[in-house]
A and B are shown apart, each in its own frame.
Chain A
């Protein structure tokens, strides 16, 4: 049976969302192909319509664009960027990224909820980038988000699932797809996120800073597929600490 990823009213075979912001534009096609990515995020602020080095000219055919609102510092700015993306023909998907901290690039959850309410009402498939907070995730679901995109670790840190326990809570409590966004630095970390039950993984820096970006994208593809299959298979029991006593601990009972 096909294991399709449903998102924003569309179906995807790939669960690898590729960020495009940190490498040479002519590489995007090769990286997307090797990674099997069907969704590519792009910073709308890099779209130089009619001008040189326009990122939109480098996205392969058949890819679903996921424009992000990077550069936005408020809900109002994010909403305007999203509308502009739609007007430029980028479609109805939007990754809401609202950041008011230039040092850590941590998301502004409250503003993100506000933007999500407005954009979802306008028919956008909203994918909000947030700190993994259950209350925020519930508010986003109520606002009509298409998914929740919690950060695994600070953007660009390649540190993996530092927020693992909080993402676990979202996975247990939320019906929306949970897509791990920032911080995934290695294929093994992407695999782990998928094993946990995340619906997809997004990666950018890990691939852009690899010696061979296309090859690293291929490794991510395999890791994400492996993690997904492991999740569907139902991971076996993993002992958290030490071994288990071989003689029963309750053997003293006389009944």
Chain B
């Protein structure tokens, strides 16, 4: 299905509108955010405050906080230990399909790319589930591209219903749905929903999403709220760091989670930090990456979130190299992926579709587990009982 370019701030037919006000609050706040206005003194004051609100987040994400990275790391580690002890949950992603009708300029799954497409059959899913469960994992993240025709909500629900027999926690990272569709997936076994806004800057969003339903900015923005209304236990936020101004995007994603948790106090919230990575033979040309991040920038964002919302889950992706993940995990992480395959399937046997991006950490579950133990952390396989 191809659409001609529609206004990215509008909705396509069938898309549920919430008009909840959260988007407006976030956009207004980001409009007034000038990271360079914060001096080191501001960042120091923010760091030292007991409780942190939007101003403190803004200061900690600013260049003014860069000289305080070491102090932020120490404070973040204290908060992580205080809230979560030394436990770090382990999970793995399972891509069940990679059909996609969007054409996002930064993504390896986009409809314009000539890659091998596929989806897993029931038998494939069971084989993958067996293979993943045999590594000891009890948590899984199910992913698809966006193509309701080829791998729609019922297909995903069917997959979840099979997977729930193997896993105690299931997250989904799929295209945004309406409230009732989220409720259906929850009933099929989903606990968490991850949706990344990619960039919160509407103009940049417009540029990089020329086609497909993903072009609707507000429908994507309100996905977490619909998921919570549909009965999901938790929701995850993030932006594709580097796609737009990373400080502004990080500020927006942080506020998005903050305002939504205020509105739905029972919601478990979590963050991920995808950074633009090369896909296929594409070396990630500079034109795609508006605001490149150094590792120190990425870490600053992670630390700022931990200090702003100490109770939030933080997941570290295999897009980052092992040396970074291992050390950052000790400071901020509540979850790490392990034994990752980003092709369609690929845990049990050869993948049925090409990967979305290249990973930088291909270690097995056992290897990640051993790394955690070596660092004095406690790998956690099971952290939820479905009743």
B384 within 8 A of A: yes
Q: Point out the residues of chain A lying under 8 angstroms from B382, CB to CB.
A: 45-48, 51, 53-54
Count class of interface residues, chain B:
20 to 34
Interface flags, B139-176, vs A, CB<8A=1, else 0: 00000000000000000000000000000000000000
A156 with B266, Cβ < 8 A, contacts A24-B376, A46-B380, A48-B381 known: no
Q: Point out the residues of chain B lying under 8 angstroms from A209, CB to CB.
A: 78, 81-82, 85
Q: Across the A-B interface, how many residue pairs have beta carbons closer than 8 Å? A: 82
Query: Bound state CA distance, A46 and B89, in angstroms?
Result: 10
Interface flags, B360-387, vs A, CB<8A=1, else 0: 0000000001000000111111111101
Contact yes or no, B381 A205, CB < 8 A: no
| A104 nearest CB across to chain B (Å) | 8
Closest to A44 in B: B385
B267 within 8 A of A: yes
A100 with B387, Cβ < 8 A, contacts A23-B378, A52-B136 known: no
- CB contacts under 8 Å to A, within B82-111, are 82-87
Segment with Cβ contacts to B, from A29-37, A73-81, A171-179, A226-234: A73-81
- CB contacts under 8 Å to B, within A138-173, are 156-158
Contact yes or no, A45 B383, CB < 8 A: yes
A22 with B380, Cβ < 8 A, contacts A51-B136, A105-B311 known: no
Query: Bound state CA distance, A54 and B379, in angstroms?
Result: 10
B138 within 8 A of A: yes
Interface of B is mostly: loop
| B291 nearest CB across to chain A (Å) | 30
Interface of A is mostly: loop
Contact yes or no, A53 B379, CB < 8 A: yes
Query: Bound state CA distance, A158 and B79, in angstroms?
Result: 12
Count class of interface residues, chain A:
20 to 34
Q: A25 is contacted by which of B266, B369, B378 (Cβ under 8 Å)?
A: B378
Q: Point out the residues of chain B lying under 8 angstroms from A77, CB to CB.
A: 387
Contact yes or no, A22 B84, CB < 8 A: yes
B269 within 8 A of A: yes
Q: Point out the residues of chain A lying under 8 angstroms from B323, CB to CB.
A: none
| B302 nearest CB across to chain A (Å) | 19
Query: Bound state CA distance, A22 and B84, in angstroms?
Result: 6
A102 with B265, Cβ < 8 A, contacts A22-B87, A205-B82 known: yes
Q: Point out the residues of chain A lying under 8 angstroms from B376, CB to CB.
A: 24
- CB contacts under 8 Å to A, within B31-60, are none
A91 within 8 A of B: no
Q: Point out the residues of chain B lying under 8 angstroms from A44, CB to CB.
A: 385
Closest to A108 in B: B266
A60 within 8 A of B: no
Contact yes or no, A46 B383, CB < 8 A: yes
Contact yes or no, B136 A45, CB < 8 A: no
A101 within 8 A of B: yes
| B332 nearest CB across to chain A (Å) | 16
Contact yes or no, B82 A73, CB < 8 A: no
Closest to A99 in B: B266
- CB contacts under 8 Å to B, within A13-42, are 21-25
Closest to B384 in A: A45
Contact yes or no, A53 B378, CB < 8 A: yes
Contact yes or no, B266 A101, CB < 8 A: yes
| B83 nearest CB across to chain A (Å) | 6
- CB contacts under 8 Å to A, within B257-283, are 261, 265-269
Residues of B within 8 A of A (CB): 78, 81-87, 136, 138, 261, 265-269, 309, 311, 369, 376-385, 387
The 10 closest A-B pairs by CB, nearest first: A22-B85, A80-B387, A48-B382, A52-B136, A100-B266, A45-B385, A101-B265, A24-B378, A208-B85, A156-B82
